[in-house]
Structure 1
Amino acid sequence: MRMTLALLVLLTHSSAAHAHGLFDGHLIERVPVIASAILLALAWGLYVLGAKKVRPHGWEPFWMHLAMLLAVFSAFGPLDEWAESSTAWHMVQHMLFMIVVAPLWALARPLPQWRAVCGDVLQPLWRAILRSGRYPVAVAMVHGALIWIWHTPSLYLLALDNLWWHMLEHACFLFSAWLFWWACLRSPRALMPQALMAQLLTLMHTGLLGALLTFSRQSFYGSDRVLESQQIAGLLMWVPGSVVYLAGCSWIIWRWLKLK
């Protein structure tokens, strides 16, 4: 509970001066941001409580707390304000969600701790998450579709102009990426070929999207968005993203050989 309260204080302090902060502007307009902060605080607080009942293994608590801190910084810190006017910073925010926070959540394996607190209340959700891990390629396709859909000009600009759509965009990236990394990094030996295929598929299509953004000679997101910023955004998706997905492939191959 103290962790939850600390998170709420951190969110309030860090975001009070930003456009998507918790309490700046009209409170009614902040409802989606406040709701997102509460959900994030609950997820973190329930994990802390659950860890007292089901002890995490090894580095799992470190991965979880690091992921939550990065999620707070990405969603409510100054990065969110910079992302409003810069395509490059917007891509940094998205990449933090998808290739940093999400795989850290997968490595943290928080389900046992959440289940220890919530019991059977959210059992259908736990089953759905665990079941998704059996289909890494299907999860990768859903995650990939969401990446492309939210980077279409109309939805990209809608998310910038409307807080509800902005928070939905973040939720789509975070949750689908978590399921994707969960299915890949935690796959049993029998599913490791599919997990490797899912990683390679994601590597290719995100690289393609990054290349389109990089080599385009016009801004996809309006004349007020600097073309050079879009090109940097494309490079960020293309190069660092490829490195992370290749690291994911290496992790899967290492586990595969280790379990043989």
Structure 2
Amino acid sequence: MTRRASLVAGALLLPLGWIAAAAGGMTGHMAGHMIAVAVAAPLIAWGLGDTRADPAARWPRLLTPMAMMLVEAAVVWGWHLPALRALADAGGPWLIVEQAMFLAAGLALWSAVLGAGRDRRAAGIGALLLTSMHMTLLGALIGLAPRPLYGHAHGLEDQQIGGVVMLMVGAASYFIGGLAMLATLLRTKGAPA
């Protein structure tokens, strides 16, 4: 996929995520989150790579893979605390803030990882694999909870499906990204820098 096609695809997917998140329920919210952070963000980051708009190229000391992994984890886990989840579930400006933070955190992480030079590729791989692990853990906690964790009226089944969405999309996106970067690193291990 060309960088331009990737950027267009990522931008076109964002409204779908916003619609899903606004539709309500844990499943819709989780689909919106995953589209923003694990599907659209890597596509946009790849599309912006090697341009003046690439965040990692503009702020290479700030946007390091491990630092952005921590920021992304704080955003994802923070918005799944019951109090913040209730704010976003109410819709309006808090839903917009939440979705914007998911996109910004995802874009920062993927930009840092994709823009990492050879000297930071291992950190990028580690950041993606650690993100896959924390997404798996949070998805499992939400999906396997024996009772509803949030006050919305959609029930336990909706919450469990939302957890599965996080497990399937979020964890898989970061895991596959980490493995792809590892394969690239192993292929170029013997090549001159």
TM above 0.5:
yes
What's the CA shift for 1:169?
A: 0.6
Q: Indicate if the aligned counterparts of 2:52 and 2:58 stay in contact, CA closer than 8 A.
A: no
Residue correspondence of structure 1 range 176-255 to structure 2 within 5 A: 176-222=105-151, 224-255=153-184
Q: Indicate if the aligned counterparts of 1:64 and 1:110 stay in contact, CA closer than 8 A.
A: no
What's the CA shift for 1:63?
A: 0.5
Q: Indicate if the aligned counterparts of 2:22 and 2:29 stay in contact, CA closer than 8 A.
A: no
Residue correspondence of structure 1 range 1-260 to structure 2 within 5 A: 59-75=2-18, 77=19, 79-82=20-23, 84=24, 86-109=25-48, 112=51, 114=53, 127-128=58-59, 130-133=60-63, 135-222=64-151, 224-260=153-189
5+ residue gaps, structure 2, are none
Q: Indicate if the aligned counterparts of 1:136 and 1:183 stay in contact, CA closer than 8 A.
A: yes
Q: Indicate if the aligned counterparts of 1:63 and 1:105 stay in contact, CA closer than 8 A.
A: yes
The residue type equivalent to 2:27 in the other structure is A
| Greater Cα shift, 220-229 or 106-115 | 106-115
5+ residue gaps, structure 1, are 1-57, 116-123
Superposed CA offset, 1:209-245 (max 9, x none): 1111111111111262310010011111113322212
> In the comparison of the two structures, how many residue pairs are matched?
189
In the alignment, which residue of structure 2 is the partner of 1:49? none
Q: Which has the higher contact order (CA 8 A, sep 6+)?
A: 2
What's the CA shift for 1:110?
A: 5.7
Distance in 2 (alpha carbons) for counterparts of 1:203 and 1:126 = 24
What's the CA shift for 1:80?
A: 3.8
What's the CA shift for 1:174?
A: 0.2
Distance in 2 (alpha carbons) for counterparts of 1:227 and 1:169 = 22
Distance in 2 (alpha carbons) for counterparts of 1:125 and 1:255 = 19
Q: Indicate if the aligned counterparts of 1:184 and 1:196 stay in contact, CA closer than 8 A.
A: yes
What's the CA shift for 1:181?
A: 0.8
Q: Indicate if the aligned counterparts of 1:211 and 1:234 stay in contact, CA closer than 8 A.
A: yes
Q: Indicate if the aligned counterparts of 1:185 and 1:248 stay in contact, CA closer than 8 A.
A: no
In the alignment, which residue of structure 2 is the partner of 1:35? none
* TM-score scaled by length of structure 2: 0.89
Superposed CA offset, 1:9-49 (max 9, x none): xxxxxxxxxxxxxxxxxxxxxxxxxxxxxxxxxxxxxxxxx
Distance in 1 (alpha carbons) for counterparts of 2:152 and 2:111 = 39
Q: Indicate if the aligned counterparts of 2:21 and 2:30 stay in contact, CA closer than 8 A.
A: no
* TM-score scaled by length of structure 1: 0.67
In the alignment, which residue of structure 2 is the partner of 1:5? none
What's the CA shift for 1:72?
A: 2.1
Distance in 2 (alpha carbons) for counterparts of 1:191 and 1:210 = 28
Q: Indicate if the aligned counterparts of 1:67 and 1:101 stay in contact, CA closer than 8 A.
A: yes
